[in-house]
């Protein structure tokens, strides 16, 4: 993976922090909004620097949570009023659109 700058980390953090309660985004959406080359970079940043962020609002493009956090992540989303069916969130209805 290419080296990640502090500016990129802060941009991802700012984007994740901006996702409102009851909405979600994907790693790919955040990567695109941050002008990053891969959603995996967002995943790495989230894994290393997101404890103080609404990390639970970031999902895969399929609407599924991270496997190792699935129960906790889905519980947090349901507590915000997000509908979960078969372990997945319907992105169409609550996907957050980042603006410039």
Domains of the chain: 6-93 (1.10.10.10)
Rounded to whole angstroms, how far apart are CA atoms 66 and 98?
22
The pLDDT of 31-55, averaged and rounded, is 94
- Specify the pTM: 0.93
Do 71 and 34 form a contact (C-beta atoms < 8 A)?
A: no
Which pLDDT band, with edges at 50, 70 and 90, does 92 fall under?
very high
Indicate the pairing of strand 58-59 with strand 25-26. parallel
3-class SS of residue 71:
helix
pLDDT at 99: 87
What pLDDT sits at residue 87?
A: 94
Give percent of the chain above pLDDT 70. 97
Closest CA to 16 of 8, 5, 24, 7: 24
8 pLDDT more than 70: yes
């Amino acid at each position: 993976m290419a080296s990640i700058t502090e500016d990129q980390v802060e941009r991802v953090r700012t984007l994740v922090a901006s996702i409102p309660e009851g909405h979600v985004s994907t790693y790919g959406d955040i990567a695109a909004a941050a002008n990053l080359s891969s959603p995996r970079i967002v995943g790495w940043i989230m894994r290393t620097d997101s404890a103080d962020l609404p990390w639970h609002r970031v999902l895969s493009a399929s609407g599924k949570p991270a496997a190792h956090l699935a129960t906790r992540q889905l519980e947090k989303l349901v507590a915000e009023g997000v509908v979960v069916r078969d372990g997945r969130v319907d992105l169409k209805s609550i996907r957050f659109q980042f603006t410039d």
